[in-house]
């Protein structure tokens, strides 16, 4: 029966060990000498990974510059006493103009554009009525809404009184008024909307009219 191949390897290792032990007992004659250099190289105890493994550490990537804010293509006149809304007020990101009015800025007026049909005129009018706690209008009633011009196009005008509940609000605000102009185009839905306590909105109706008529494209 042949021996396993591992045996020759073990035997060779044992032979080397025995030879080494035998040589320790032999006397050896020194025939050569060398002088020790006066300046021995410095021993570095701590070595960086780059020096140890021979690679160059890369510089951290330079962060890309933040994109410049997109310029609003619209122009308008802000009514006296109205102010730009504080930063972060528009959680939807759709408002291209966002203004506040009233002693505590409780009144809102803004312009928004929604791409595409956005559900159509009837759906948006009734969405607004739902925010005021009002029942929807029929298609015929929506068709008969009064018309006004905004940005050189015919737009539907609405005015609702009720209890307003905005997006994310826990409770409705009592006795508020909402007014707005809605313009349906093939490629977008554009609307200007004002909402706030009823008496406050009534006092600012003329300002709202002037603001809506001032909106146009920058030249």
- The DSSP H or E segment spanning 178 is strand 173-184
pLDDT tens digits along 84-103: 999 888 877 789 999 999 99
Six-digit token pair at 153? 């196009």
d(C-alpha 181, C-alpha 210), whole Å: 13
Q: What is the CA radius of gyration of the chain?
A: 42
Q: Are 145 and 154 in contact (CB under 8 A)?
A: no
Rounded to whole angstroms, what are the CA distances from 152 to 92, 119, 155, 183? 26, 23, 9, 10
pLDDT tens digits along 162-218: 999 988 888 999 999 999 999 988 888 899 999 999 999 999 999 999 999 999 988
Question: Quick check: pTM over 0.95?
Answer: no
């Amino acid at each position: 029966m042949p021996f396993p191949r591992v045996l020759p390897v073990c035997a060779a290792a044992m032979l080397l060990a025995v030879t080494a032990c035998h040589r320790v007992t032999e006397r050896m004659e020194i025939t050569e000498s060398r002088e020790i250099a006066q300046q021995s190289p410095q021993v570095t105890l701590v070595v960086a990974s780059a020096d140890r493994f021979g690679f160059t550490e890369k510089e951290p990537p330079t962060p890309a510059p933040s994109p410049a804010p997109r310029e609003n293509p619209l122009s308008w006149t802000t009514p006296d006493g109205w102010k730009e809304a504080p930063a972060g007020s528009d959680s939807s990101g759709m408002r291209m103009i966002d203004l506040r009015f009233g002693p505590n800025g409780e009144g809102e007026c803004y312009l928004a554009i929604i791409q595409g049909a956005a559900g159509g005129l009837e759906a948006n009018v009734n969405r607004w009525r739902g925010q005021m706690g009002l029942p929807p209008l029929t298609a015929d009633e929506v068709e008969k809404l009064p018309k006004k011009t905004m940005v050189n196009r015919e737009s539907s005008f609405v005015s609702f009184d009720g209890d307003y509940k905005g997006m994310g609000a826990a409770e409705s605000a009592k006795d508020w008024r909402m007014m707005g102009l809605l313009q349906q185009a093939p490629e977008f839905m554009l609307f200007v909307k004002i909402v706030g306590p009823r008496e406050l909105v009534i006092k600012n109706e003329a300002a709202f009219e002037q603001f809506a008529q001032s909106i146009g494209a920058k030249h």
